[in-house]
């Protein structure tokens, strides 16, 4: 067989033939082979501004958290104080009828018995009882002779006397921490004189 006539034989050389359209631009090859360089350095001023904004954001978040915690603590303290006030009010309201009975007993002691030891003991108990109530924040509502106040007085009857004036106290009233826990039950003047004429 004639090897020179074999069309399947392809001779490859390192130099492309003139006019060969497959010729590759050497500059393109050089560009592909060139190593990738590091990215250009960031602007220090921009980095500083970004960090400052991040710090301000963290600071605002901290402020909000601190404010929320302060509000929570204040709310808890208020709820605790209110619960304690209500508990004290319930206790005082239950004690007042006992104190009323003791006070009436002291007021009704006959003068001939005033010097007896057991009578003096009851008087001392009454005084200690009142000091205990005062220590809890209880104050008596001043009513007799005062102008009728529906916020602290409860009218149970009207009699001849100056209009709107408290003439008698049927049952004492009390406040706890400045708030009325039991209004004073009073008799109020109706604006007429004892003879039935307007005062």
pLDDT digits (tens, 9 = 90+) for 12-70: 445 555 555 555 555 554 455 445 556 666 678 888 888 888 899 999 999 999 999 99
Question: Residue-wise over 167-180: b if at least 16 C-beta within 10 A, else e?
Answer: bbbeebbbbbeeee
pLDDT in tens, 82-127: 888 889 899 999 999 999 999 999 988 888 887 788 989 999 999 9
Question: Domain 140-199, what architecture?
Answer: Roll (2.30)
Please give the CATH topology (third level) of the domain spanning 47-136.
Hemagglutinin Ectodomain; Chain B (3.90.20)
**Residue 175 DSSP SS3:** strand
- Are 170 and 187 contacting, i.e. CB atoms less than 8 angstroms apart? yes
Q: How many degrees, rounded to 5, is the angle at CA 84 between CA 78 and CA 86?
A: 100
In Å, how far from its chain's centre is CA 137? Answer: 23
Domain residue extents for the chain: 47-136, 140-199
């Amino acid at each position: 067989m004639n090897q020179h006539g074999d069309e399947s034989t392809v001779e490859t050389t390192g130099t492309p033939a003139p006019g060969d359209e497959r010729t590759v631009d050497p500059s393109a090859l050089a560009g592909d082979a060139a190593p990738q360089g590091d990215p250009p350095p960031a602007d220090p001023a921009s980095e500083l501004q970004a960090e400052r904004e991040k710090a301000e954001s963290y600071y605002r978040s901290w402020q909000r958290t601190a404010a929320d915690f302060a509000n929570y603590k204040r709310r808890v303290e208020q709820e605790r104080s209110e619960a304690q006030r209500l508990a004290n009010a319930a206790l005082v309201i239950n004690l007042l009828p006992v104190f009323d009975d003791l006070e009436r007993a002291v007021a009704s002691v006959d003068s001939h018995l005033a010097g007896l030891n057991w009578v003096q003991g009851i008087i001392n108990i009454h005084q200690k009882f009142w000091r205990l109530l005062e220590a809890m924040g209880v104050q008596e509502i001043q009513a007799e002779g005062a102008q009728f106040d529906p916020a602290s007085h409860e009218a149970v009857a009207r009699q001849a006397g100056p209009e709107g004036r408290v003439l008698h106290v049927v049952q004492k009233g009390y406040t706890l921490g400045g708030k009325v826990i039991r209004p004073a039950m009073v008799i109020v003047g109706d604006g007429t004189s004892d003879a039935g004429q307007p005062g």
